[in-house]
Structure 1
Amino acid sequence: MYPRTTDMEEMRRRCRPITWAFYSYWDSKRLRPDGTRRQMPSRADIDPTEMVPWLPHIQLIDVFHNPRRLVYRLVGETDVSFRGYNPTGRTVEEGMIGRSAEETLRNYELVIDQHLPVYDWAEYVSRSGYLRSQEGLLLPLSDDDKTVNMVLTFAQVDTQA
């Protein structure tokens, strides 16, 4: 079974405090000025100056529809280091990290089609040959609160001895 959940209480029990803090930041951006909650914030709601501790760990992926294409717009230092190259401008299929393309793309499908946050965790061997423990969080962004036009991700990667 692929290690993923859309249950944010399960994520809270499993994840590192920095990952929960990032989710809480995204969640806070769903509030409208009148106090009602949207399903997802827009890219304009996300302020990089408020995200300084998380910037090395984030990615922004543009979502194009008809046909669907997922393209890396911004990739933080954590993911660039783990991959050994910067996939900015490439599709997710070309630059993805995961056990399989099918499971990685399933994470994006849940975020885009169901507007759900997705948390996953796993161990990988990096290109340098070191075993790494990874946890990732994929979050939807939408300009109209109906169609996901970007996915914001956060990843923590640790080297294991």
Structure 2
Amino acid sequence: MPSPDGSKGSIEALHRYWNSRAGGLAPQRSDIDPADIKPLLPFLYIIRYERDPFRVRYILTGTEVDRWNGFNMTGRYIDEFLATDIHGANRILLDAYTEAFNTAAPAFCTYSWPTRAGYTLEVRVGLFPLRVGEEIQQCLAVEDYSGFSRAMADQSVPFEDVVVKRADPGEP
């Protein structure tokens, strides 16, 4: 499991857990017990795959995920962030989610995330597809923030939710 001060080992821990549920095949969503992976919960995303058109929707995000992103992404679609993501992180994530969906196997990626303070974070990600019935319909994902101090999340949130900002009546 991850270290008490961060998510170090979280990808590997979730990978071991995922493998243990169905012998290396994508497990049923109902086979995942949050109590079994309690130390990972703050770092987890759960997404739902939608078809026709294909989309990835965040249905639950952990508390550390929300801190690092600067807001809660629950209910949002990853493609909402593509137009304003000049660094390509969301495209890398969408491609990895698509790979996990298409292969029913874990996918891994790393993306660069520039902060407002001017430095760049290299974030490692593990994505683990889940079946509901016979189809891949969800995915567990975890981002490893262990190489960064907690202050980086609090003082230098690397993302601004432009969709919410545009909805602010005080903004032009």
Same-fold call, TM > 0.5? yes
Matches within 5 A, 1:137-148: 137-144=126-133, 146-148=134-136
- Equivalent-residue separation in structure 2 for 1:130 and 1:85 (angstroms): 20
Going from structure 1 to structure 2, the CA distance change for 1:83 and 1:129 (only over 3 Å counts) comes to farther
Superposition deviation, residue 129 in structure 1? 4.8
Matched, 1:149 2:137: yes
Unaligned runs of 5+ in 1: 1-15, 31-36
Paired letter, 2:74: T
Superposition deviation, residue 132 in structure 1? 2.4
Going from structure 1 to structure 2, the CA distance change for 1:123 and 1:44 (only over 3 Å counts) comes to same
RMSD: 2.4
Superposition deviation, residue 121 in structure 1? 2.0
Paired letter, 1:42: Q
**CA shift digits 1:104-152 (9 cap, x unpaired):** 22111111111121111233223565532311101100023x4210011
Q: Which residue does 2:3 correspond to in 1?
A: none
Paired letter, 1:27: N
Unaligned runs of 5+ in 2: 1-7, 153-172
- Identity, % of aligned positions: 25
Q: Which residue does 2:72 correspond to in 1?
A: 86
SS in 1 for 2:59: strand
SS in 2 for 1:39: coil
Superposition deviation, residue 101 in structure 1? 4.1
- Equivalent-residue separation in structure 2 for 1:156 and 1:80 (angstroms): 14
**CA shift digits 1:3-35 (9 cap, x unpaired):** xxxxxxxxxxxxx533211110011011xxxxx
Paired letter, 2:18: W
Q: Which residue does 1:29 correspond to in 2?
A: 21
Bigger Rg, which one: 2
- Equivalent-residue separation in structure 1 for 2:41 and 2:117 (angstroms): 23
TM-score, normalization by structure 2: 0.70
